[in-house]
Amino acid sequence: MRTYDSNKSARINLVLMLALMAGVVMPGGLCAPMDAHAATYYLRGDTTTDLGFDGIATLPNVQSTGNAIPYLGSMLTTAATGSNWRPSSIPAGTATLIDGYTAIYSANAVDISGISSSCAMRSTATDTISFYLYDYNPDTGVKTLMATSATGTAGQTTVAVVPKSWTLSNARVQQNNRIVFRIAKTSGAARTTDRLYYQAATATTGCWVTFTETPAISEFIPPSSSITAPANGSTYTLASASPATISGTAVDDASGSGIASIQVSIDNGATWNDASCSNCPTTGSTTANWTYSWTLPSENIVGHTLKSRATDRASNGETPGAGISVTVDRVRPAVSSTAPVNGATGVPMNSAVTIVWSENVNCANVTTATVAITPAVAWSRTACSGNQAIFTPAGQSANTQYTITAGTGVTDAAGNAMASATAFSYTTSAVASLAQPANITLSGMKTAGPDVSWDSVPGAAQYNIYRSTDGSTWGSAIGSVVDPATSYTDTTAPLSNTTYYWTVTAQNADGESDKTDSVTGRTALLVGFNMVSAPCNASGSTASVFGSWANWSWTWDSTGNTDPDNNGVWNKAGIAPGESTYTWAYNDSTVLTASGAANAVSLNVTLVPGWNLIANHLAAPLTDIGANWLVDGASLSSAVTANIIAGSLSWWNGSTYDTLVISANPVIEPWKGYFILNMDVVNHTLTLQ
């Protein structure tokens, strides 16, 4: 257990606390050092107890009296040759004669400098004596070496003083630790005639150490550090030297104890590593210069946050700041895929060539010089973005192998070049490919379809026309015409007032061309009644909304009747968003048009008991209505399950009602009207969205 003046320590701490709270600046500064003074400590023979040799785990936890140092060594209870000799013998080899330690320091750590030591001894042969100074922690038994002297010698049979002086700067004995002075014989054989000379009546004989001790600064202000290189935002590439040097500075406040150490983290403070400091430990506000060697990892665009933290000699640690950000990109780009693939055959002549790399590339270095084609033809880069580039050849020959080579001139965004050139080859088709028909247009829209026209294609024998409901799924051709005809009238569209897509190909004996970009249109109304709506906020009579042809309309006025053929109201004025109406068309070329502001994405309509006419209020088709449409805030599907709403919608196709089952996820098109059945006896709110 440590022995120290707890009352004195408490008084010191209380004074410091009150001074901090009151903002009082003490003379010389709150953290000003106490006066330095020289002290001489003696190894005194003030005990006759045999404490054993220096093989025990720890020194005895005993405080010295005045400047007398308790010692650890083999002490005789009686003198061998006289009362002035201790110990009785000196062991062979590197052995400790005496460990002595100084008084405890309860309030401050101590800085040590300017040491001299002496020992009076007698030996029958020449021996080498060394002196050591340690910072000793009595709680742990750990002795930290602060300095070792050059050696003194003893080779006399009479008493002789073996003096030695040496210099020590900025050594620190931590608070509550002790200063250990060790004398050791570092050469010579064991001789029972060897004696350490000590004379109890004379304080200046025996063994002693003199040094200047300065109670360390009792400070509370931590130091600061910064990283000066690399710059924030830097990128380490394969061209960067590894290990990379991270460097910076650290400084304590003017009245501080100085910088003791610096650490560096390359992972945002998760782990820390010791940096090398060229002039540590420092004192006061002297700037410390430090470096850290970082072996760069093989990473591909990985960010690192570099931080530093300093600790001063009073053990005040810096709270690290935000640090700086750097990126490590030390992986080379490589070709990951191509189109056409390597070895492809039958590739249409002059087809675009796409190259995809393993990471983003610098498009400035992706050129016709760094990506080449052989045999040479016209060759241009038509697109480059991210990790992909597209090149287009022109003037290729049929049934010919072409090789594309991406060279080492291609670099990633950080400047790392491909490790080696990558080549792939493909073979063009045996005959010249037909071009796609150009300038496809629609006109003369009828109930069963439009007139489709296009430009002629050299070498074409016929043209094939395709129709789709979604613009991506194409079945068999709906018709063909023989060149030089360049138009076709579609008369087979199955539904009126419905959106379709049309495309055309050219064909001859060698094959069929690619499809043109599709065009889209909506078929005309049936002659007679049609269920229609306007996907905009149009107002007025149906005639004013849709045109003079629509001057006769009928809107369902439900009274709970479940038969939509009964109980209607004719010539209702106007059509509201989300509503639909029965409207009469006089011919098969009537295509709905209307103008008005766009409706809100979400729209509420009231469903009265029985049948209700509703519509898609937006210009685009609606899907997944079971989940997206709401009945009183809950999903339409849940209302169907609860038997509040019938499980399907109905649309009049001109001869009968088509059933659209809600659970089958039907497409609800704009411009059409649909029946929905409220099976309850009260109104419900339907949210269209």
Q: What is the pLDDT of residues 382-422, one digit of tens each?
A: 999 999 999 999 989 889 999 999 999 999 999 999 999 99
Helix (H, G, I), strand (E, B) or coil at 572: coil
Look at residue 138 in the predicted model and tell me its pLDDT: 62
Look at residue 183 in the predicted model and tell me its pLDDT: 61
Asked if 455 and 491 sit in the same domain, the reply is yes
**Cα dihedral across residues 281, 287, 293, 299: positive or negative:** positive
> How many domains would you assign to the chain?
5
Q: 323 pLDDT exceeds 70?
A: yes
The pLDDT tens digits for 38-79 are 555 544 433 333 222 233 333 333 333 333 344 333 332 333
Calpha distance 55→53 (Å, rounded):
6
The pLDDT tens digits for 635-655 are 999 999 999 999 999 999 888
> Radius of gyration over alpha carbons of the chain, in Å?
49
Helix (H, G, I), strand (E, B) or coil at 592: coil
Q: Give the pLDDT mean for 542-561.
A: 52
> Has residue 63 been placed in a domain?
yes
**Cα dihedral across residues 266, 271, 276, 281: positive or negative:** positive
Q: 565 pLDDT exceeds 50?
A: no
Asked if 52 and 183 sit in the same domain, the reply is yes
Strands 324-328 and 235-236: parallel
Asked if 551 and 681 sit in the same domain, the reply is yes
Look at residue 93 in the predicted model and tell me its pLDDT: 39
Asked if 251 and 295 sit in the same domain, the reply is yes
Query: At CA 670, angle to CA 583 and CA 499, rounded to 5?
Result: 95
DSSP string, 434-474: PPPP---EEEEEETTEEEEE----TT-SEEEEEEESSSS--
Query: Rounded to 5, what percent of the chain is helix, strand, coil?
Result: 5, 40, 50
Sheet holding 259-265, edge to edge: 235-236, 324-328, 302-312, 259-265, 273-274
> Has residue 252 been placed in a domain?
yes
> Has residue 12 been placed in a domain?
no
Do you find a cis peptide bond into 230, omega within 30 degrees of 0?
A: yes
Closest CA to 675 of 650, 639, 658, 655: 650
Look at residue 201 in the predicted model and tell me its pLDDT: 35
Asked if 468 and 538 sit in the same domain, the reply is no
Look at residue 202 in the predicted model and tell me its pLDDT: 40
Side-chain half-sphere of 272: how many Cα atoms within 13 Å? 14
Look at residue 258 in the predicted model and tell me its pLDDT: 84
| Alpha-carbon distances, residue 589 vs 445, 450, 468, 491 (angstroms) | 6, 10, 21, 12
Please state, as a whole number, how many other Cβ atoms lie within 10 Å of the Cβ of residue 53.
15
463 φ/ψ angles, rounded to the nearest 5 degrees: -125, 140
Q: Give the pLDDT mean for 500-513.
A: 91
**Of 47-51, 66-70, 83-87, 468-472, minimum mean pLDDT range:** 47-51
**Of 48-57, 104-113, 270-279, 556-565, minimum mean pLDDT range:** 48-57
Calpha distance 115→124 (Å, rounded):
28
**Of 57-71, 97-111, 275-289, minimum mean pLDDT range:** 57-71
**Cα dihedral across residues 229, 233, 234, 236: positive or negative:** positive
Stated length of the chain? 689
Asked if 49 and 167 sit in the same domain, the reply is yes
Asked if 49 and 139 sit in the same domain, the reply is yes
Residue pair 277/271 in contact (Cβ under 8 Å)? The answer is no
Look at residue 2 in the predicted model and tell me its pLDDT: 29
184 or 657, higher pLDDT: 657
Helix (H, G, I), strand (E, B) or coil at 359: coil
Calpha distance 44→39 (Å, rounded):
15
Closest CA to 20 of 221, 291, 168: 221
Calpha distance 318→320 (Å, rounded):
6
Asked if 514 and 543 sit in the same domain, the reply is no
Q: How far is CA 477 from the centre of its chain?
A: 52
> Has residue 28 been placed in a domain?
no
Range of the domain at 476: 441-522
Of 215, 250, 271, the domain-final residue: 215
For position 456, which CATH number holds? 2.60.40.10
Closest CA to 667 of 548, 498, 536, 513: 498
Calpha distance 554→540 (Å, rounded):
14
Asked if 635 and 515 sit in the same domain, the reply is no
Asked if 267 and 303 sit in the same domain, the reply is yes
> Has residue 106 been placed in a domain?
yes
Asked if 69 and 195 sit in the same domain, the reply is yes
Q: 350 pLDDT exceeds 50?
A: yes
* CB crowding 218-228: b at 16 or more within 10 Å, else e: bbebbbbbebe
> Has residue 372 been placed in a domain?
yes
Look at residue 515 in the predicted model and tell me its pLDDT: 93
Q: How far is CA 560 from the centre of its chain?
A: 61
Look at residue 217 in the predicted model and tell me its pLDDT: 53
Residue pair 582/575 in contact (Cβ under 8 Å)? The answer is no
Q: Give the pLDDT mean for 339-355.
A: 94
**Of 10-19, 93-102, 232-241, 340-349, minimum mean pLDDT range:** 10-19
> Has residue 436 been placed in a domain?
no
Sheet holding 630-631, edge to edge: 603-607, 684-688, 630-631, 634-635
The pLDDT tens digits for 1-36 are 223 232 322 222 322 222 222 233 332 333 333 445
Tokens standing for residue 96: 């400790």
Residue pair 281/259 in contact (Cβ under 8 Å)? The answer is yes
Q: 606 pLDDT exceeds 70?
A: yes
For position 290, which CATH number holds? 2.60.40.650
Of 215, 235, 260, the domain-final residue: 215
Paired residues of 166 in beta bridges: 115
Average pLDDT of the residues of the chain: 76
Strands 37-43 and 68-69: parallel
Asked if 42 and 152 sit in the same domain, the reply is yes
| Percentage of the chain modeled with pLDDT above 70 | 63
Calpha distance 353→372 (Å, rounded):
11
Q: Please tell me what DSSP assigns to residue 275.
A: P
Of 467, 491, 522, the domain-final residue: 522
Tokens standing for residue 343: 């070895």
| Percentage of the chain modeled with pLDDT above 90 | 48
> Has residue 316 been placed in a domain?
yes
Look at residue 579 in the predicted model and tell me its pLDDT: 83
Tokens standing for residue 502: 């049309």
